[in-house]
Structure 1
């Protein structure tokens, strides 16, 4: 028998076969699990791989999980001398007639509050009913996918009557000055207006954030008070820190002051994001262009990630590196969305958009032409693009982005001919 502890944030990554893949759409509906302990006992290599992958999923961030090679006997021997966790996931090849007898030694050493999920090999409704009558929380027929296990655990430990968590959308630039904040602010405004959805924009660039300028606000409090006083943070305290920007949009502004050093621990922003998700259906997170433990943590936990880049070589390299890093941080989630911004700037050498996307093996959700006049007027007047000209191509593009990142519509896969047509239209603007 061997035991492996999996610590979230420091995993090793291996190739995953198509059969082991969980559908991102199915996973997206599952909420993060609470702080519980789980011990999985796996008889097969396939089950071991599935549990290892699950231990790295962002929905497991609060879970203390252990994975052990072995079955019922190994579990009974281990818990004979140690406390049982909140949940035991047990794979067994026992036949239906022998399974309850095999589970008896484990039942003798398990705490009454411990829940048990059995993964067996027999699709037997009589066995299922007998196990449920005897206190087993769930019986699944193997081989199982990660989604099935996560859904079963969620059904046991996540309160179905609880308020659903809001969606977090993180915006980050592939390089400084690419317009990620401008896009984040316009999308937050668009989501709140287009869908009449309560939205919170959180400016996470504490020393240099521009959300207060872009919305022509001068709040006395904001995100700094939330980050540096986590013990006070609750819905009531958050409500005092928010600034109203429009009917459905509130802002958690950055102080934009240099009177202190803004150094954070890796999990510093997690309580803030969690309270935002409990307070509004959509939380837009405007991240600065830095790569640190706290930004990695925010990006790993976000429901959606949007990378903004401009068409030059440094942005291409950085975007590729970020996509590779986020694939490891978020192995079970959809790839980040990509926006190419400031395309067609006069007298600036650029990489053609088609050439920019090809090595990334990802299609953009939007291409925004360079328009110094419109974006400059919006920034200097503290208004969004939709307020300056709601019928402009840029405003229509922001509407498209809002639909995609909120899941209100699916992005259509563009063939090369379609992409060429889009780029041709861009060149005529």
Structure 2
């Protein structure tokens, strides 16, 4: 374990620190299905641990927080089995702490890991604890990020094959072009960076990925979602349609032969398996609000909302952003794409006025070009295949750089609110 765990510098209110925390959390992988019990002496330690349990990366783990330190844990485990991980806060001085841990060891299963949160920044104590079999020693104060980081370092195998990054695309309204943007960005990432990309069309009834990529596979995502017991990397590979050299597709059946009602976890296993098969997974999420669509957005590594510059789109985008902030409090905000800007004779909201009440800068503003998009759609081709030098193709490529972490969104000067929120409230 690295020694700098002894001196965490936590500043939950600092802007730079908050940005660093978001970046650190973004790089962490989901914690597996483990049981965790924490025994805390102070609310300042119990609070961050409880918040860690609410983070999406901890969704599979079962975390229980008890008030009371090592003495409470000793009493508790005299009659209860020990979990995969025990987190203990202790304000005792080093000698007393070591004695109490020796007593606790009589009731602990040898396979259980133990993390101590102490109040003494003592290198000698750290070494003695590690020598005694303690997995990690962290000095208070701690943050929620510290907790998730420590747990991740203990249970996410650094030698394991990395899990692919998932990017979920959803439209603020139907017909705003979210699927088209998703498919073109997937194609762009696969060609620009020579990276394996998988597209999963989650709109089983009306999905358009098969049309946009000119594919007609006999099987697709429906076979996986209706037979979850069969899902593994080999089975998933048989369901993929190859769209380009490094681009594959889990196509939707796009038929109405059955009703597509799913439970909230219906796509979770498919997505987990797909992330082990490709470094980049593009999730084309339909414009619906259900248990499974909410769950898919909550667990995605990144989210892109596509909207057109009009009032209903602004209302829906703000609702989505506000809800995602609650669901993903430790992640950065979703990315915003304004599509179909500049439709002739259509009154619309400027990009700056649209962004102001949302508090985020659009990742891209894509102008209205029915000829380019129409020709690409009717021919089953991507925009880059139709006209590689078109400025819109360059915008798509720029977004691919941002979503893969190769560049950042350029900040723009904010404009006035223009009374938009007031108009939204009046229309409710």
Asked if Structure 1 and Structure 2 have the same fold, meaning a TM-score greater than 0.5 normalized by the shorter chain, the answer is: yes
Q: Which residue of 2 aligns with 1:336?
A: 334
- 71-80 vs 313-322, which deviates more? 71-80
1:57-96 matched pairs, under 5 angstroms: 57-96=55-94
Shift of 1:159: 1.7
Partner of 2:166: 168
TM-score (norm 1): 0.91
The farther-off stretch of 339-348 and 167-176 is: 339-348
Give 2:196's aligned residue.
Answer: 198
Write out per-residue CA displacement over residues 232-258 of structure 1, whole angstroms, 9 at most, x where no aligned residue. 011110111000000110000000010
Distance (Å, rounded) in 2 between the aligned partners of 1:216 and 1:201? 14
CA separation in 2, counterparts of 1:125 and 1:358?
49
TM-score, length-scaled by structure 2:
0.92
Distance of 1:106 and 1:117 partners within structure 2: 13
Which secondary structure state, in structure 2, belongs to the residue aligned with residue 305 of structure 1? strand
Query: Is this contact kept in 1: 2:48–2:147, CA < 8 A?
Result: no
Pick the aligned partner of 1:26 from 21, 24, 27: 24
Measured in 2, the distance between the counterparts of 1:294 and 1:416 equals 35
Counterparts of residues 15-414 of structure 1 (less than 5 Å): 17-18=12-13, 21=18, 23-414=21-412
Structure 2 CA distance for aligned equivalents of residues 43 and 397 of structure 1: 53
Tell me which moved more, 55-64 or 406-415: 406-415
Cα drift, residue 75 of structure 1:
1.3
Could you say which residue in structure 2 is the equivalent of 1:425?
Answer: none
Shift of 1:412: 2.5
> How many angstroms apart in 1 are the aligned matches of 2:285 and 2:205?
12
* Superimposed CA distance per residue, residues 25-72 of structure 1 (whole angstroms, 9 cap, x where no aligned partner): 111221111110001112222212211111111111110111112211
Runs of 4+, deviation exceeding 4 Å: 19-22
Deviates more, 1:279-288 or 1:42-51: 42-51
- Which residues of structure 1 form unaligned runs of 5+? 1-15, 418-429
Of 175-184 and 100-109, more deviation after overlay is shown by 100-109
CA drift of 1:409 comes to 1.2
CA distance in 2, matches of 1:150, 1:326: 20
RMSD: 1.4
1:149 Cα offset (Å)? 2.1
How big is each residue's C-alpha offset from its partner over 1:109-131, in whole Å with a ceiling of 9 and x where there is no partner? 21121110001011111111111
List alignment gaps of at least 5 residues for structure 2. Answer: 1-10, 416-428
**Count of residues paired in the alignment:** 402
Distance 1:216 1:382 in 2: 5
1:121-180 per-position Cα deviation (integer Å, ceiling 9, x unaligned): 111111111111111111011112222222222222122221000000000001111100
1:356: how far off? 1.1
2-structure distance, mates of 1:335, 1:75: 39
- For residue 353 of structure 1, report the CA deviation from its aligned partner: 1.8
Local SS of the residue matching 2:48: helix
2:339·2:367 contact (CA, 8 Å) conserved in 1?
yes
SS in 2 for 1:407: coil
Query: Which whole-Å CA distance do the structure 2 matches of 1:27 and 1:50 have between them?
Result: 14
Aligned-residue offset at 1:198: 0.3
Measure the CA separation in 2 of the matches of 1:252 and 1:112.
44
**Helix, strand or coil for the counterpart of 1:409?**
coil
Q: Secondary structure at the match of 1:296?
A: helix
Superposed CA deviations along residues 339-392 of structure 1, whole A, max 9, x for unmatched, are 001111112221222211111111100000111111001100101111111111
Secondary structure at the aligned position of 1:218 is classed as: coil
- Cα distance in 1 for residues equivalent to 2:154 and 2:220: 37
Distance 1:409 1:56 in 2: 30
Deviation string, structure 1 residues 4-31 (Cα, Å, up to 9, x no partner): xxxxxxxxxxxx9526957111112211
